[in-house]
Structure 1
């Protein structure tokens, strides 16, 4: 049976790689993004459905959910890094705006989208996978705090959706090359340091993350739920 998969933030980086992985598996994939031209181009290139949607806007999210009668997999990949507030003693209004933006992009997009489609999951085999970050485990400021909150929310979501046969997990990525996350603001020295702190001595790729997401939505992962799975080459280890 063909699965229906929704990937928010699916027009670039990790989200695009995730959408491509499910499309290659024969799923009917829907990707969202905020820029119409980018959504249209991605849909055409990947052979998927494109929907213009700001996942932080409740009305747009409601309209998105109304497109589906049923859903098998939701991947919350929408997110990003809010611009830093300059200065050692930033203006409090600017600081508040930065925190709100990081929480809106990296937590509330997932909360709103998941809430809007939770009744679309039917039968056993559903999966919600959200993209987290190594920043939640170290001094990640407002971005790291938002990703830490994402993991905490996921743990409670898992208990709520388990009776519906839906698993809920977070894939926390380390440094992944080939994305626009740093907006070209990553120096060569900083990049070398990020690679050096891994055990495998290489940057992650979007496919590393996409393959893990794909596995967590597969039959082989039906007893994995409520977890944060770290994919970072050993830069952060758990036990």
Structure 2
């Protein structure tokens, strides 16, 4: 049984399909959890709700200040927030490019920049950034999304090098297709194609990601940092 008693965790996208399950998993393990989401009203019971637009640096700075006031430090950061706005390169608007890069990638920099000093206070910490296999392989019609998710990997590995001396680990989870509201907008044939290329033959569940997050933020992975954990049922290797 994993225990996170005495740990303070912040989960972005905490009201989302993956984030809400991560919040519940961390609460069940005993952590104090702040659920930060632009849709703050949908917070998981037991978590501290905070309305935050992670693509807005001022909003992130308010979140960091609030956590520091309440706990004078923090231990765990899980960045689940993310959006898509698909189009082929020659039809993609600058607004679609900027919004996805801001929400998915710049946000991670804002969060790391803000929360790293709070973790350094405690000389410990674990950060998990949720990327995507499409950030590793590219995806037709997703130049913005793939670039943002690929950027998370470089950011995480750099942060792992810079923060390791303070006992802070930084890792990435790279999901395949997961059953979330984001999947619901896909055409049936696209879902079926993803299942066909997945060696385990099924769509992933949010709990598959939450279990992996629990591993990476706990002492079970105490010697793991700067790594990408692919949770895709073999979709990328198929």
Give the TM-score of the pair, scaled to structure 1: 0.89
In structure 2, the residue matched to 1:52 is 51
The gaps in structure 2 that reach 5 residues or longer are none
Report Cα offsets for 1:78-101 as digits up to 9, x if no partner: 11112x347x842xxx52222211
In structure 2, the residue matched to 1:71 is 74
For 2:117 and 2:90, the matched residues in 1 are separated by 46
In structure 2, the residue matched to 1:210 is 210
In structure 1, the residue matched to 2:34 is 30
For 1:139 and 1:158, the matched residues in 2 are separated by 24
- The alignment of Structure 1 onto Structure 2 pairs a total of residues equal to 226
Give the TM-score of the pair, scaled to structure 2: 0.90
Query: Is 2:170 the partner of 1:168?
Result: yes
Cα-Cα RMSD: 1.7
Map residues 15-164 of structure 1 onto 2, 5 A cutoff. Answer: 15-35=19-39, 39-43=40-44, 46-67=45-66, 68=68, 69-82=72-85, 84-85=86-87, 89-90=90-91, 95-121=93-119, 122-140=121-139, 141-164=143-166
The gaps in structure 1 that reach 5 residues or longer are none
Report Cα offsets for 1:181-232 as digits up to 9, x if no partner: 24x4311121111111111101100000011011001111011100111000
For 1:66 and 1:175, the matched residues in 2 are separated by 35
In structure 2, the residue matched to 1:237 is 237
Maintained 8 Å contact 1:126/1:165? yes
For 2:21 and 2:46, the matched residues in 1 are separated by 13
For 2:103 and 2:59, the matched residues in 1 are separated by 15
Maintained 8 Å contact 1:79/1:109? no
